[in-house]
Structure 1
Amino acid sequence: MKLTVNVDLTPEEARRAMGLPDLTPLHDRYVASLLEAMNGQVRPELLENLMRSWSPMGDASVALWRQVFDQATGAGGKSGS
């Protein structure tokens, strides 16, 4: 016998149902501290270092993120400073 149950929950409802903590205040403080540290200036080198520290695949993942950011900012083929 196979039984399938579909549950329609928001992410917040699912988090509460599984008993996971609400990390929203921690996330907000983290984002605020990042923005403060950047002092309103987002430089490509900072983003690259951040993505490199987060990327599980190393340079290949960084290259993918760089391509995404270049396309999003319209910098597409420009090399530069």
Structure 2
Amino acid sequence: MKITVDVDCTPEEARAFLGLPDVKPMQDALMRQMQDRMSANLAAMDPDALLKTWLPVGIQGFEQMQKMMWNQMTSAMGGGKDAK
């Protein structure tokens, strides 16, 4: 035996029927605060400051990766570093 029940209601009606609170006003207020904070932070940072902050770390990490790969390649080929 199979019984199927179709309920046709909106999310608001289902929430009210189940006794769940309406959190939409709280979500809207939090989203507004987040947008205000993000806008203020983005306005405070100009592109030049962002590049100075992010770029050196990226370039340094890339150079370190290159050196590590070169050392692995030379040691795998049996070259190694010359002793002086």
**TM-score of the two chains, using structure 1 as the length reference:** 0.46
**TM-score of the two chains, using structure 2 as the length reference:** 0.44
Q: Based on CA coordinates, which of the two structures has the bigger radius of gyration?
A: 2
Judging by fraction of residues, say which structure has more helix. 2
